[in-house]
Structure 1
Amino acid sequence: MRVIFMGTPEFSVPVLDALVAAGHEIAAVYCQPPRPAGRGKKDRPTPVHARAEALGLDVRHPVSLKNAEEQVAFAALKADVAVVVAYGLILPQAILDAPERGCLNIHASLLPRWRGAAPIHRAIMAGDAETGICIMQMEAGLDTGPVLMREETLIGAEEVTSELHDRLSEIGAGLIVEALMALPDLTPEPQPAEGVTYASKIDKAEAQIDWRAPAEEIDRKIRGLSPFPGAWCDIDGQRVKVLASRLAAGSGASGTVLDQALTIACGSGAVELLRLQRSGKGAQDRETFLRGFPIATGSELSVPEATT
């Protein structure tokens, strides 16, 4: 098929590779514009931009698709279908209507659960037992379109967002290739009205750990916000990100360090901290971290001040 690909971050790259490997003709690749990054704040192309150029594909990165000129240029590609995965721009109706078979979105949740910006983070943070990928026929609403195919996967008890992100990206890459092969025979299934939830964008303000919360909630926050923005706490006046954890036995006053395995008492239960990162330093496993930053058993980690 003649395909327009629309994606931006690392999550989208395996999908682009899969479409190329399956023999589809990529009419153009749309992604977000390069943005300043690194110490020099020089414009850096997005992961999809870099990969598309390496593949010798036509790359386009308009700031908006709302103007008539961009819409005409998009329609002139005469694509059979557009494949959209974490693109980052709202698609106007003229764009949705341009490809002969419309626009298909690869969404990282089991719709209608977790529509919106951060479905992987929110699934872990909510304690969902499973998630998956949906191939959805796009329409004007936010992730409201009918679903063509879906594939479920269990969420591991210690899985963090970055790990689940990579698994779902590979699942999505395989599923979209299957969907395009079977497209004429697929029946779009409208999403049910029941069970709709929204995965709001992650706010850095929600990343601070409150040790007074139940251990299950803290563990899910740590894993759901890893690696970015990273759940954090204050230890001896330093901000420390916690990037991996697991539930552990133990109890005590909230925030108390129970042993040298960095088991921390919570409002109920305890969590064991497995990977940490001090401000300005690289991420380290627990043992390496403690060699450079010892934390005594019995010490108490601070809790956020109560807000009124």
Structure 2
Amino acid sequence: MILGEGRVDGTARDPYGSGLMRVVYFGSGEFAVPALRWLTNSPHEIAAVVTQPDRPAGRGKKPTATPVGAMAESLGLPLHKTENANEAGFVEQIRNLRADLGIVAAFGQKLHAPLRAAFAGECINIHSSLLPKYRGAAPINWAILNGEPKTGVSVFRLVDRMDAGPVLVRRETMIGSTETAEELHDRLAGIACDALGAALGLLEQNLQHPGEPQDESLATQAPKLTKADGMLRLDETAEQIALRCRAMWSWPGARCLYRGADGRAEEITIAAASAIPTQAAEPPGTITSLLTVATRQGTLEIHGLKPAGKRGMGWQDFVNGRHVKPGDRLEAINP
């Protein structure tokens, strides 16, 4: 295996041959870390890792590396941090690596055609949905919010349109009935390793493998979340509220106000809840005699929550600490 800039003869591998590949990994977020770790244990050569620059984080606003950047540094991999991977000078740096393939996962920047063309086999992307469903920045959250029974990971070829390229591999999994977006994110990140391995197996045999075109009639969108997406509406059904609580954990969080008998309101984020088909007689948002919450249809049972500025806790701990009583209310937060 040849390390450094380019191969011994200064050329890329035969794009129609087979064998191991020289790759550049583009990633930033936590989702991309397991696949990078998997790649380091594979026979393929990592020519470089590309990530977003360090950002201020924490109370001290100290510049902090991305999860992928931190992993690459700990593994001693060649690391590039860039605000704009499509800048002409940076594209030339990547081209000089003479890599076979670009692999993208949770990178945070769109790769334009000149950068994709710097690779003999162009670029593939690891996406956390069963494309063409849930194209966009938040596929895990929207799949849960919409009550999907299953989701998965797709590895596809990058094209100009977002998440629209031909698919090389899909890996499917059922969504757990109580699984939060955070939990599903971590599980899909593991499944992504298997999906990437299968995709690289195809490309080892044919670097120009065309993949399967996506059916545009089945395409749906998963736009980036905002804080407003976490605002609970107590006039929804118990099932809809429970789905939102799971889909929005841990960010932006499904938030509402708890108002006790003294009239004071406290913001809470519901981390876990489930729907009970029994209909309560009280108006939506009212805490019932069973310490569940009345909704438009069905009753909501809260399991865990996080008061603003405090640590998470179980519902019973909150009930005991706040002396929650029937007739207290959960209310929507006014925008």
Shorter-chain TM-score bucket reads: over 0.9
1:289 aligns with 2:327: no
Q: Deviations over 1:12-60 (max 9, x none)?
A: 1000001111132111111111100111111011111111100001111
Looking at structure 2, the residues matched to 231 and 27 of structure 1 have their Cα atoms a distance apart, in angstroms, of 42
1:227 aligns with 2:264: no
Where in structure 2 are there 5+ consecutive unaligned residues?
1-20, 260-264
Give the match for residue 283 of structure 2.
Answer: 253
Question: 1:158 is aligned with what amino acid?
Answer: T
Give the secondary-structure state (helix, strand or coil) at the position aligned to 1:6: strand
1:265 aligns with 2:294: yes
Q: Contact 1:8–1:47 (CA<8 Å) still a contact in 2?
A: yes
Q: Contact 1:136–1:147 (CA<8 Å) still a contact in 2?
A: yes
TM-score by length of 1: 0.95
Give the match for residue 148 of structure 1.
Answer: 168
Tell me how far 1:161 sits from its aligned partner.
0.1
Tell me how far 1:91 sits from its aligned partner.
0.7
Task: From 66, 69, 94, give the equivalent of 2:114.
Answer: 94
Moved more, 139-148 or 282-291: 282-291
Q: Contact 1:215–1:270 (CA<8 Å) still a contact in 2?
A: yes
Question: 1:209 is aligned with what amino acid?
Answer: L
Q: Contact 2:229–2:252 (CA<8 Å) still a contact in 1?
A: no
Give the secondary-structure state (helix, strand or coil) at the position aligned to 2:104: strand
Give the match for residue 190 of structure 1.
Answer: 213
Give the match for residue 327 of structure 2.
Answer: 298
Give the secondary-structure state (helix, strand or coil) at the position aligned to 2:218: coil
Question: 2:266 is aligned with what amino acid?
Answer: Q
Question: 2:31 is aligned with what amino acid?
Answer: F
Query: 1:157-176 alignment to 2 at 5 Å?
Result: 157-176=177-196
Tell me how far 1:187 sits from its aligned partner.
4.8
Q: Deviations over 1:245-277 (max 9, x none)?
A: 1112342310011245x4211111111111100
- Shift in alpha-carbon separation, 1:67–1:291, aligned structure 2, 3 A: same
Give the secondary-structure state (helix, strand or coil) at the position aligned to 1:201: coil
Task: From 115, 132, 141, give the equivalent of 2:135.
Answer: 115
Question: 2:228 is aligned with what amino acid?
Answer: A
Moved more, 38-47 or 18-27: 18-27
Q: Contact 1:232–1:241 (CA<8 Å) still a contact in 2?
A: yes
Tell me how far 1:78 sits from its aligned partner.
1.1
Question: 1:113 is aligned with what amino acid?
Answer: K
Q: Contact 2:255–2:333 (CA<8 Å) still a contact in 1?
A: no
Task: From 251, 275, 280, give the equivalent of 2:304.
Answer: 275
Q: Contact 1:18–1:174 (CA<8 Å) still a contact in 2?
A: no
Give the secondary-structure state (helix, strand or coil) at the position aligned to 2:219: coil
Identity, in percent, stands at 38
Where in structure 1 are there 5+ consecutive unaligned residues?
none
Question: 1:286 is aligned with what amino acid?
Answer: W
Task: From 225, 231, 237, give the equivalent of 1:208.
Answer: 231
Looking at structure 1, the residues matched to 318 and 69 of structure 2 have their Cα atoms a distance apart, in angstroms, of 36
How many aligned positions are there?
305
Aligned CA-pair RMSD: 1.5
TM-score by length of 2: 0.88
Q: Deviations over 1:50-102 (max 9, x none)?
A: 11100001111111123210110111111111110110001111111111111
Q: Contact 1:250–1:258 (CA<8 Å) still a contact in 2?
A: no
Looking at structure 1, the residues matched to 304 and 107 of structure 2 have their Cα atoms a distance apart, in angstroms, of 31
Q: Contact 1:146–1:188 (CA<8 Å) still a contact in 2?
A: yes
Give the secondary-structure state (helix, strand or coil) at the position aligned to 1:112: coil
Tell me how far 1:154 sits from its aligned partner.
0.8
Task: From 240, 262, 266, give the equivalent of 1:217.
Answer: 240
Question: 2:166 is aligned with what amino acid?
Answer: P
Tell me how far 1:196 sits from its aligned partner.
1.1
Give the match for residue 102 of structure 2.
Answer: 82
1:34 aligns with 2:54: yes
1:128 aligns with 2:151: no
Give the secondary-structure state (helix, strand or coil) at the position aligned to 1:14: helix
Question: 2:285 is aligned with what amino acid?
Answer: G
